[in-house]
A and B are shown apart, each in its own frame.
Chain A
Amino acid sequence: MKRTVAEINQRIKDGDVVVMTAEEVIPFVESEGVERATKEVDVVTTGTFGAMCSSGAFLNFGHAEPPIRMQRVTLNDVPAYTGIAAVDAYLGATELRQDDHGGYGGAHVIEDLVSGRSVRLRAQSNGSDCYPRKDIDTWVSLNSLNQAYLYNPRNAYQNYAAGTNSSERTLFTYMGKLLPRYSNITYSNAGQLSPLLNDPTLRTIGIGTRIFLGGGTGYVAWEGTQFRTNVETRGGVPMGSARNLATIGDMRCMGPEFLRALYLPGYGVSLALGIGVPIPILDEGMMKATAVSDEQLFAPIIDYSVQSRNRRPIKHVSYAELRSGKVELFGKDVRTSSLSSYLKARQIAEVLAQRIERGEFLLTEPVAPLPQDRGMGTLEVRSKEEAV
């Protein structure tokens, strides 16, 4: 049994498409078998909602009278990068507000904008003959911006290490608060609902793939930064951070339900973002891949008190164990917490399924595939000559 994306899109237009979420499809495949399920199901929808630090927004403010070439820009006192054209800026999600102890940053500005709130824009310039103005202090909103779109260099990690802490003090990390002496474990992945765990080699996901992004529609723009394929697998699925996506999407169709600023004291600001990817069931291989369950998906547990990039996993545990609320570590039950919301991940997969069923969301074939063989390098302190 084989089907193409074009055939699936025809079924969407005809109103005949059969869509299931990556959660619903697990018992379905178990009861019907892969062969029958493949005949039945056209699309499996996935979802994830977690901290995606490597995110940000390109904004175009429009020209002032007289015009300014902005050289320093802040939005609600959060600096944005403006070393691009006159009134363009890139606001990173983790950028912190100036002169602040933290707690508010780029992600909050992005959330304010998609929530319809106005944001204070201040810009300075040295001035030039073509752009005489030297400063501006005004308010902008999503309605007043010419363009406002997220371009996120690294989103939707395929898998991610869980964190714990062997030391004597509480650690404040991007994985949340890690209590001393292995007193908790935090993890951040939607497991069986996670987009890239349902298509582990990215057979159907590539550049140009249409996705659910922050409540609206977005696209896969590129391979995510630190994309790598050379990781240990179990059952053909990576057991640690491997592939990820660079995504792009118009902020105007997003909302705070699936885009939320986060503050992790001691680390900083991050952005929780909802991403959903539809997986076309092209054949039995894809059906089998999307029927993967939390029992078959594994994450390494890393001790974050080891301040080195060469941390070895303490052990690997399944997402079923992580999600059960406790994991056995050195003979003791350790409580677990998730940084990503399973409920939101499920809602994203459901909303995406509805959009497909209603004919509002058509599937895409990748314009180009993402790398099939990619490693990840490190940064060394080296000389100019050694660096070549």
Chain B
Amino acid sequence: MAKKKFLLGFSPDIVNEAIVYRLVKDYDLKINILRAEVREMGGRLIMEVEGKAADIKEAARYLTDSRVEVQELVTYVEKNEERCTNCGMCLSICPVEAFTMERPSWKVRFDAERCIACGMCIDACPPGAMKFHL
């Protein structure tokens, strides 16, 4: 089983397409929607998909064919190490505990793999070290 995160972009003419349903039904993928925004200009969806590597690949092709913009996300929230003061404000804010305070160094470590792009840390970081990377 493979796990990947995607950023999908929709233009207004395709927002009525039942994309998530097709991904589940036709490609047997387990979908976790991390972020969804739909506006008059279209929409944006960040999702984590889990399934067979071949199915994920096929699903990505289906999406592209359906004129959905598909971008695989490796990192979507970035920590600027120089800006970070290692205070740890982010620690109790992050819902998935993507930040840890390393001992005995007292450095804040950010695990991008755990991050679900909720954005909670971005305005919680006083020196402004956390930014969206999209």
Binding site for B on A (CB under 8 A): 49-51, 176-177, 179, 183-186, 260-265, 270, 272, 325, 334-344, 346
Cα distance, A239 to B128, chains bound together (Å)? 31
Q: Which residue of B lies closest to A172 (CB)?
A: B123
Nearest Cβ on chain B to A69's Cβ, whole angstroms: 37
Q: Are A346 and B91 interface neighbours, CB within 8 A?
A: no
| B75 interfacial by beta-carbon distance below 8 Å | no
In the complex, which of the residues A49, A176, A179 has the most CB atoms of chain B within 10 Å of its own CB atom?
Answer: A176
- Interface majority SS on A: helix, strand, loop or mixed? strand
Q: Is the CB of B123 within 8 A of A338?
A: no
Residues of A within 8 A of B87 (CB): 49-50, 272, 337-341
A339 touches B92 (CB 8 A): no
Tell me, rounded to whole Å, the shortest Cβ–Cβ distance linking A162 to chain B.
11
Cα(A275)–Cα(B85), bound, Å: 15
Binds A, one of B5-13, B25-33, B59-67, B101-109: B101-109
**Given A185-B92, A343-B105, A343-B106, also A262-B86 (CB < 8 A):** no
Q: Give min CB distance, A267 to chain B, whole Å.
A: 10
> Contacts A176-B124, A272-B126 given: A341-B86 contact, CB under 8 Å?
yes
- For B107, B124, B127, the residue with the greatest tally of chain A CB atoms inside 10 Å of its CB is B124
Closest to B88 in A: A338
Q: What residue of chain A has the Cβ atom nearest to residue B85's Cβ?
A: A341
In which size bucket is the chain B interface? 10 to 19
Q: With A49-B85, A338-B89 in contact, is A177–B101 under 8 Å at CB?
A: no
Task: State how many angstroms separate the Cβ of A340 from the closest Cβ of chain B.
Answer: 6
Q: Which residues of A contact B117 (CB under 8 A)?
A: none
Asked whether any CB of chain A lies closer than 8 Å to the CB of B90, the reply is yes
How many whole Å from A189's CB to the nearest CB in chain B? 12
- With beta carbons under 8 angstroms apart, the residue of B89, B101, B120, B128 that contacts A339 is B89
Enumerate chain B residues within 8 angstroms of A334, measured Cβ to Cβ: 92
Residues from 73 to 113 in B contacting A, C-beta threshold 8 Å: 85-93, 101, 105-107
CB distance from B79 to the nearest CB of A (A): 14
B89 touching A186, Cβ below 8 Å? yes
A179 to B128, CA, bound (A): 19
Give the interface centre of A186, A262, A343 by most chain B CB atoms within 10 Å.
Answer: A343
Contacts of A337 in B (CB 8 A): 87-93
Q: How far is the CB of A93 from chain B (nearest CB, A)?
A: 13
Contacts known (A335-B92, A341-B86); A262 close to B106, Cβ less than 8 A: no
How far, in angstroms, from A263 to B123 measured CA to CA in the complex?
8
1/0 contact trace for B122-134 toward A, CB 8 Å?
Answer: 0110111000000
**With a CB–CB cut-off of 8 A, which chain B residues contact A176?**
89, 93, 124, 126
Taken together as a complex, chains A and B put the C-alpha atoms of A325 and B120 apart, in Å, by 18
Residue of A nearest to B100 (CB): A325
Contacts A272-B87, A337-B89 given; 5 further ones with Cβ under 8 A?
A177-B120, A263-B126, A335-B92, A339-B89, A343-B86
Asked whether A264 lies within 8 Å of B126 as measured between CB atoms, the reply is yes
Partner pick for A260 among B107, B124, B127, CB 8 A cutoff: B127
| CB–CB B126/A335 < 8 A | no
CB-based contact B86/A344 at 8 Å = yes
Q: Smallest Cβ distance from B80 to chain A, in angstroms?
A: 12
A184 to B91, CA, bound (A): 9
